[in-house]
Amino acid sequence: MQKATERAMGRALVIEANGLVALDTREMLLELGFAEVAALARVDTALDTIAVRAPDWSLIDARLGADDLAPVMAALDAVGATVVLVSSRPDGSDIDPRWTDRAFLTRPYGPGDLAAVLNSAG
């Protein structure tokens, strides 16, 4: 089986409250071969996006402000998207216990870190 970064990646969704981080991550994903990348800051807009154009992958800020991630996690599971949670702690201790079985990426991260987590998750 080919590694994730060695094949066409399809569509990705970035849900990140920090606009600069979201845009930087979007650019990294495009450089890694994703055909489309949507970068959003809120769960409600993410739900609308998932309903219209389901992603193959999603990177989500584990602590997205006051938003509850449960609806978006359920929607991503329903469409079969691979989810990577982004944590500010190297041990992922800020990730909700409901999702500790998901891949996670520690911020700050670069293209190499992103490629490595995509390969391990996919």
Beta strands (DSSP E) in 10-112 are 11-15, 36-40, 57-61, 82-87, 103-106
The per-residue pLDDT for 6 is 44
What pLDDT band is residue 8 in, cutting at 50, 70 and 90?
A: low
pLDDT digits (tens, 9 = 90+) for 51-74: 999 999 999 998 886 668 899 999
Q: Is residue 2 part of a domain?
A: no
**What pTM was computed for the model?**
0.88
Q: How far apart are CA 74 and CA 36, in angstroms?
A: 22
What pLDDT band is residue 37 in, cutting at 50, 70 and 90?
A: very high
Of 26, 41, 50, 1, the C-alpha closest to 114 is: 26
Of 108, 67, 60, 64, the C-alpha closest to 86 is: 60
What is the domain-level CATH number for residue 116? 3.40.50.2300
What pLDDT band is residue 9 in, cutting at 50, 70 and 90?
A: confident
Q: Is residue 38 part of a domain?
A: yes
Indicate the number of domains in the chain: 1
Inform me whether the pLDDT recorded for 2 exceeds 60. Answer: no
Inform me whether the pLDDT recorded for 1 exceeds 90. Answer: no
Residues spanned by the domain of 114:
8-121
Backbone angles phi, psi at 39, to 5 degrees: -115, 120
- Is the distance from CB of 95 to CB of 85 less than 8 angstroms? yes
